[in-house]
Structure 1
Amino acid sequence: MPFFLKTLLPEKDFEENFNNTFQPHKTLVLFSLKKDKSSLWKTWGYAYNNPNNEHAEHLILDNIEIYIQENQIKGRHTLTLFMSYTPCRKCSARIKSFLTSRNDLCMDIKASRPYFFEYKSEQKGLYLLKSLGVSIKMMDQFDYEQCLHEFVHPSKKLTPWLGLEEQSKKNADDLENIWKQFLSQEEEKETEENAKIIKISNHDNMIGPQNISVCTEQLGAQDVSRPHIILDGQDHHDQSPTKDDTWLSTPETPQKRKSTDRATEPVPGAKRKLDFLEK
């Protein structure tokens, strides 16, 4: 069984799995669960991945779930993971399902090296965790010292290996580039969505046939004492500056015409235009 509860990690295993200048063919995850504002761990331990079966993260989360249920853990708690590799996309999805139903539990991940940062699927998995509020950091010398002190032996001191800081800096830069890339994509997506909203809003505010009819009714109900426009020598009170023979509106009703007002009779000039069009 590659799961060890409340057991110190052998120093040799620490050196083999957390030296960030090497790439071991297995994953080691150390964990601790503690209540916020408390220095005492509720439970702790570590796990290796079970080849062709379960990942180390799955083994730990399965056991944490059992522990929470059996001990009726309540209140805000922090689950800290020291990992030899960052979570893969499958483990990221598993962590998401684990945290989704536990708003009072936060997670702090510190990883020694990246797990295939060059693949988009792995990048998306990490960004998914970040969007959930998971703290993800590439380990530096201070983190290695803390891990050694807490999970190997409190009297052990870290002897930095050659290239530790340089590789830590590179890993941190690579992770930061992933955040920037996805942030840029999110901003572009937000800009596109805003543009769509504006376009739809403008489309909804355009004057449609039903609005044109309303506008025509409103214009017809206005006072006829508007500026006169002379067409073919006739005085037409019902002709507005913006209204011509191309205005597509519903016919005016008889009630809106005054039989005694010669200016509102059919316009000869307008008829001549229609005759011209018929030719």
Structure 2
Amino acid sequence: MAAGTEKGDSARGTNPGWKIQPNDFKVNYIPGTCPRVTYLLYEIRWGRSTKFWRHWCRNTPTQHTEIACLEHDFKKLNFRPSVRCSITWFLSWSPCGKCCRRIVEFLRAHPSVTLKIKAAWLFRHMDERNRQGLRDLMENGVALYIMNLPDYRYCWRTFVAHQDEEEDDYCPLLRSLWIIFYCQELQRVLWGLPSLLARHAHP
């Protein structure tokens, strides 16, 4: 598992070696491409602190990135039940049904933890197992969103090892159309409605 860490806002920009490469971000996060791997960028905040623990990981040939994150990275942080903990995940793919079940188990075992998931793509969202998994997350208090333009800019500035003179040059219009589509699809998944794509499927 490849990964990197950053402690607190004061460390931002001082240790670019931990961040992901610009092309890895563009290839795997920008809608309109088709990522072959799953990246997970995340930040954790304890209590009312203004500082974050930032980290990223990706899937391996034998383990989905969500499971790797829960079973390896979070265990190292030694959660204290008495301290509230807020976690935000920026995923290139939304969790599959199996990962959703594991996430729910983790949250039930750590009631002081709240989780927000923002995904660039919906993973095989015509599959009812994955659709039910996302609904289970919502029913267990997970806030689910599709990444919007400010999210992309935030991740680019925070998690990507770009040069200062580099610009976010991928097409914002194309990205906006994909965001609108996936936002609509996610809402249909969460409310148990058929996919918009089902209207175009063959009988």
TM-score (normalised: structure 2)? 0.81
**Aligned counterpart, 2:29:** 18
1:136 & 1:126 partners in 2: Cα distance? Answer: 8
**Aligned counterpart, 1:65:** 74
Say if 2:184 is the partner of 1:173.
yes
Q: CA deviation at 1:68?
A: 3.2
Say if 2:5 is the partner of 1:2.
no
Q: CA deviation at 1:118?
A: 0.6
Greater shift in the superposed pair: 28-37 or 77-86: 28-37
Bigger-Rg structure (1/2):
1
Specify which of 38, 41, 45 is matched with residue 34 of structure 1.
45
SS for the counterpart of 1:103 is coil
**Aligned counterpart, 1:270:** none
Q: CA deviation at 1:97?
A: 1.0
SS for the counterpart of 1:22 is coil
Partners of 2:117 and 2:144 within 8 A in 1: yes
SS for the counterpart of 1:123 is helix
How many residues are treated as equivalent by the alignment?
179
Specify which of 58, 61, 68 is matched with residue 48 of structure 1.
58
2:148 & 2:74 partners in 1: Cα distance? Answer: 30
- Seen in structure 2, the aligned counterparts of structure 1 residues 134 and 157 have a Cα distance that, compared at 3 Å, is farther
2:113 & 2:41 partners in 1: Cα distance? Answer: 17
- Seen in structure 2, the aligned counterparts of structure 1 residues 153 and 81 have a Cα distance that, compared at 3 Å, is same
Q: CA deviation at 1:112?
A: 0.3
Amino acid at match of 2:72: N
Amino acid at match of 1:96: V
**Aligned counterpart, 1:88:** 96
**Aligned counterpart, 1:135:** 143
2:167 & 2:138 partners in 1: Cα distance? Answer: 32
1:98 & 1:2 partners in 2: Cα distance? Answer: 22
1:153 & 1:5 partners in 2: Cα distance? Answer: 13
SS for the counterpart of 2:132 is helix
Question: Which runs of 5 or more residues in structure 2 are unaligned?
Answer: 7-17, 194-203
Q: Which has the higher strand share?
A: 2
Say if 2:123 is the partner of 1:123.
no
After the TM superposition, which segments of 4 or more aligned residues of structure 1 sit over 6 Å from their partners? none
- Taking only aligned residues, the RMSD between alpha carbons, in angstroms, comes to 1.9
TM-score (normalised: structure 1)? 0.60
2:81 & 2:170 partners in 1: Cα distance? Answer: 38
Q: CA deviation at 1:171?
A: 0.2
Q: CA deviation at 1:107?
A: 0.3
Partners of 1:3 and 1:59 within 8 A in 2: no
Q: CA deviation at 1:8?
A: 1.2
| 1:84-113: CA deviation from partner (whole Å, max 9, x where unpaired) | 000001110111111101111000100001
Q: CA deviation at 1:136?
A: 0.6
| 1:145-179: CA deviation from partner (whole Å, max 9, x where unpaired) | 11111211595653342510000000000011112
**Aligned counterpart, 2:196:** none
Question: Which runs of 5 or more residues in structure 1 are unaligned?
Answer: 183-279
1:147 & 1:98 partners in 2: Cα distance? Answer: 25
Give the share of equivalent positions with the same residue, in percent. Answer: 23
Partners of 2:134 and 2:190 within 8 A in 1: no
Q: CA deviation at 1:181?
A: 1.8
Say if 2:118 is the partner of 1:107.
no
